[in-house]
Amino acid sequence: MARAPVTVRGEQTRRRLLEAAEEVFGELGFRRASIAEIVRRAGVAQGTFYLYFDSKEEIFRALVRHMSHELRKFIAMAVASLQDRLEIEREGYRAFFRFVLQHRFLYRIVLESQFVDEEVYREYYRRLAEGYARGLARAMEAGQIRRMDPETLAYCLMGIAHLLGMRWVLWENREPPEEVIEAAMDFIRHGIALPPKGAADASREGG
């Protein structure tokens, strides 16, 4: 069990440990990573580590949850002022690609988490999907996009971002080119758009 730090300084130290852990687990993988290396990079004493985490497993789990939280916060801030769902999709994708560019070990750490703690791995995707599906359901209720199963649509949209992020950010170390984002958005826009006015009645029961 991690103890939640109550002071501002405690919170800062915990964050420093997590940031060091992101580098160490990302570069070395879970097995080769060590608490000694994490505290070395964080610049704190080994004893301090145990004020926050009990073990290598525990800081790894905390790291996956921390990255999940940071990613969702980063995307939420990027789309906070937007109303139109297609705008939200576009800017949310862009934010995701920027985040992956800044956190080049995100994919690796999340993927490896399935071998360390399957539950934390599933939770990473489930939390993303739940938030995503809630936003999509609101847009459906507001009549901005077609009605369909929000959870399935969330997984579809996460899958698109996942593979484009792999193809461009991980492999080419850059955000996807503008024309790639536009092509994906064109596909998504048609996929989620309301039916044209005249066709509305005919297709309302189709989904």
Could you give the string, one character per residue 42-71, with x where binding to a second copy holds by CB under 8 A and - elsewhere? ------------------------------
Residue 192 CA to residue 144 CA, distance in Å, equals 9
Max Cα distance, the chain (Å) = 69
For residues 121-158, b (16+ Cβ closer than 10 Å) or e, as one string?
bebbeeebbeebbebbbebbeeebbbeeebbebbbebb
Footprint of a second copy on 147-186 (CB under 8 A): 148-149, 152-153, 155-156, 158-164, 166-167, 171, 179-180, 182-184, 186
Query: In this complex, which beta carbon is closest to a second copy, that of residue 31 or of residue 40?
Result: 31
Give the number of residues written for the chain.
207
Could you give the string, one character per residue 86-115, with x where binding to a second copy holds by CB under 8 A and - elsewhere? ----------------------x--x--xx
Query: In this complex, which beta carbon is closest to a second copy, that of residue 43 or of residue 159?
Result: 159
Cβ-based neighbour number of residue 55 at 10 Å: 11
34 three-state secondary structure: coil
Query: In this complex, which beta carbon is closest to a second copy, that of residue 2 or of residue 183?
Result: 183
Residue 189 CA to residue 112 CA, distance in Å, equals 33
Among 5, 10, 23, 29, binds a second copy (CB under 8 A): 29
Q: Which residues bind a second copy (CB under 8 A)?
A: 29, 31, 108, 111, 114-115, 122, 125, 129, 146, 148-149, 152-153, 155-156, 158-164, 166-167, 171, 179-180, 182-184, 186-188, 190-193, 196, 199, 206-207
